Amino acid sequence: MKLIYFAWVRERVGKSEEDLDLPPEVTTVGDLIVWLSGRGENYAYAFEKPATVRAALDRVHARREAVIAGAKEVAFFPPMTGG
Amino acid sequence: MKLIYFAWVRERVGKSEEDLDLPPEVTTVGDLIVWLSGRGENYAYAFEKPATVRAALDRVHARREAVIAGAKEVAFFPPMTGG
Amino acid sequence: MATVRVQREDFDAGLEAAALARGRRDVGAVASFVGYCRDEGGTLAALDLEHYPGMAEAEMARVAAEAEARWPLIGVTAIHRFGTIAPGEQIVFVAVASAHRGEAFAAAEMLMDYLKARAPFWKRAIRADGTVEGWVAAKEADDASAARWGAAEP
Amino acid sequence: MATVRVQREDFDAGLEAAALARGRRDVGAVASFVGYCRDEGGTLAALDLEHYPGMAEAEMARVAAEAEARWPLIGVTAIHRFGTIAPGEQIVFVAVASAHRGEAFAAAEMLMDYLKARAPFWKRAIRADGTVEGWVAAKEADDASAARWGAAEP
pLDDT tens per residue across all 83 residues of chain B: 999 999 999 999 999 999 999 999 999 999 999 999 999 999 999 999 989 999 999 999 999 999 999 999 999 999 999 99
Number of helices and strands in chain D (H, E) = 4, 8
Residue C153 has pLDDT above 90, yes or no: no
- Span D18-61, pLDDT tens digits: 999 999 999 999 999 999 999 999 999 999 999 999 999 999 99
Q: Which of D49, D54, D118 is facing A61, going by the closest CB pair? A: D118
Beta bridge partners of D31: C33, D96
The arithmetic mean of pLDDT across residues A40-60, rounded, is: 96
Instruction: Kindly give, in sequence order, each residue whose CB lies less than 8 Å from that of residue B8, ignoring residues fewer than 6 positions away.
Output: B46, B78, C134, C135
The arithmetic mean of pLDDT across residues C123-141, rounded, is: 86
Element at D6 (helix H, strand E): strand D2-7
- Partners of D34 on chain C (C-beta within 8 Å) are 17, 21, 29-30
The alpha carbon of residue C102 is apart from the nearest alpha carbon of chain D, in Å, by 8
Q: Which of C12, C38, C42 is facing D99, going by the closest CB pair? A: C38
- Partners of C112 on chain B (C-beta within 8 Å) are 83
Return the pLDDT at C81.
98
pLDDT band at C149 (very low <50, low <70, confident <90, very high): confident
Residue C109 has pLDDT above 70, yes or no: yes
The arithmetic mean of pLDDT across residues C4-10, rounded, is: 98
Burial class (CB in 10 A: 0-12, 13-18, 19+), C73: buried
Residue type, D139: K
The arithmetic mean of pLDDT across residues A30-52, rounded, is: 96
Q: Apex CA C69: angle with CA D30 and CA D90, to 5°?
A: 45
Mutate one of D57, D66, D109, D135 to test the A interface: name it (highest A CB count within 10 A): D135
- Would an 8 Å CB–CB cutoff place C44 in contact with chain B? no
Burial class (CB in 10 A: 0-12, 13-18, 19+), D54: middle
Residue ranges of chain D with per-residue pLDDT less than 50 = none
- Span C111-127, pLDDT tens digits: 999 999 999 999 999 99
Q: Is there contact between C and D if contact means ≥3 C-beta pairs under 8 Å?
A: yes
Residue C144 has pLDDT above 90, yes or no: no
Strands A73-77, A54-57: pairing is antiparallel
Say if the Cβ atoms of A83 and D54 lie within 8 Å.
Answer: no
> Rounded to whole angstroms, how far apart are CA atoms C26 and C21?
8
Give the CATH H-level superfamily of domain A2-77.
Beta-grasp domain (3.10.20.30)
- Span C17-31, pLDDT tens digits: 999 999 999 999 999
CATH of domain C3-147: 3.90.1170.40
Residue C2 has pLDDT above 90, yes or no: yes
> Rounded to whole angstroms, how far apart are CA atoms C39 and C88?
8
Q: Chain D residue closest to C37 (CA)? A: D28
- Would an 8 Å CB–CB cutoff place D111 in contact with chain A? no
Domain ranges for chain A, please list them. Answer: 2-77
